[in-house]
Amino acid sequence: MEGLYCSEAPACSEGPLAPEDSKMLEDERVLNNLLQLQPFTIPSQNYFKHIQHDVQPFMRKVVTKWMLEVCEEQGCEEQVFAVAVNFVDRFLCVCVVQRSQLQLLAAVCLLLASKLRQCQPLAVKLLSCYTDFSVSQQEIKAWELLVISKLGWDLSPITAFDFVDHLICRVPCLSRHPADIRKFATGFLAQAITEPEFMMMEPAALAVASIASAVQPSIPMHEWNAALTTMAAAVNLDPIALHPIIPQIEMVVERDAMVLPTVPYQSHEPLTPTNKQQAPEPMDIFDGNKTPTEVTDIHF
């Protein structure tokens, strides 16, 4: 029985998660499967132009920043945020919503992503509390099945985070300090995911560009060029085509860093609405409209 014991610490608890499996990371078949599957869960269109009339790009930025803050304060695994944003984008591609329903959608997507990508899901009551109770627990539960059905029950998207470890281990100058490189790269990547301009980009391309942006100041230029070429070749991309994306990500990170708190978040226990250091501020994009209480208020 001892051989069946899982020592992996669940998310939202003390202790590290299970380490990466080097066999999986070095196996080309795994990376090829990721590349083959990624097109199926990329948002199918720019919904701001063709679907949504009340939701604007800046509103997506606000709601995804709120989602990121919730995930950080609750110590969620990094995939929870990326998967939740993917759910939001894909839902908005097929279903018209009002701006007053956007935070409700975000809370439901966080709930679903946490159920799928970490051991301990976020509580419905907790998510309602993070909305300053503008979204009720009943609304979140009512919308859960709606979101799943609109996503076609396809709840295992390939995200840019899936590629990070595979890319780092393939570049010698990056694999010397993989933990440090990974920390900065995933931070850049999380900020990029909040930007509407990157929502339809291939996850592999976004992962390469984020890693390249994160390591550019810390390694010589010839090593940086070699690393970019190696990573791009690993995911069948042209490195020249990635050059315009890299400064865009750097601008996003620089701009967001100007508004971050001066005291970094540090804690040895998961934060809750009663002990968190700084709660995500209620989103001010709804013009005072109250979230509808009926699922039928969506315009199909």
pLDDT for position 276: 41
Percent of the chain with pLDDT over 70: 80
Domain 48-156+281-297 class, CATH top level: mainly alpha
Structure tokens belonging to residue 88: 């939001």
pLDDT for position 258: 65
Least confident piece of the model among 187-191, 223-227, 282-286: 282-286
CATH code of domain 161-257 = 1.10.472.10
Mean of the pLDDT values across residues 75-101?
94
pLDDT band at residue 19 using 50, 70 and 90 as cut-offs? confident
Cα–Cα distance, 54 to 47 (Å, whole number)? 11
Structure tokens belonging to residue 123: 């509580």
| In the predicted structure, residue 127 carries a pLDDT above the cut 70 | yes
pLDDT for position 254: 86
How confident is the prediction for the chain on average, in pLDDT?
82
Query: Smallest Cα–Cα separation from 108: which of 134, 82, 146, 74?
Result: 146
pLDDT for position 90: 96
| In the predicted structure, residue 16 carries a pLDDT above the cut 80 | no
Mean of the pLDDT values across residues 238-260?
85
Structure tokens belonging to residue 274: 């009663």
Q: Tokens 């990500």: give the residue.
A: 249
Cα–Cα distance, 269 to 149 (Å, whole number)? 35
pTM value is 0.81
Least confident piece of the model among 115-119, 198-202, 220-224, 293-297: 293-297
> In the 8-state DSSP scheme, what is residue 276?
-
In degrees and rounded to multiples of 5, residue 220 shows phi and psi of -60, 155
A 10 A CB-CB count for 26 gives: 12
| In the predicted structure, residue 289 carries a pLDDT above the cut 50 | no
Domain span(s) for CATH 1.10.472.10 in the chain? 48-156+281-297, 161-257
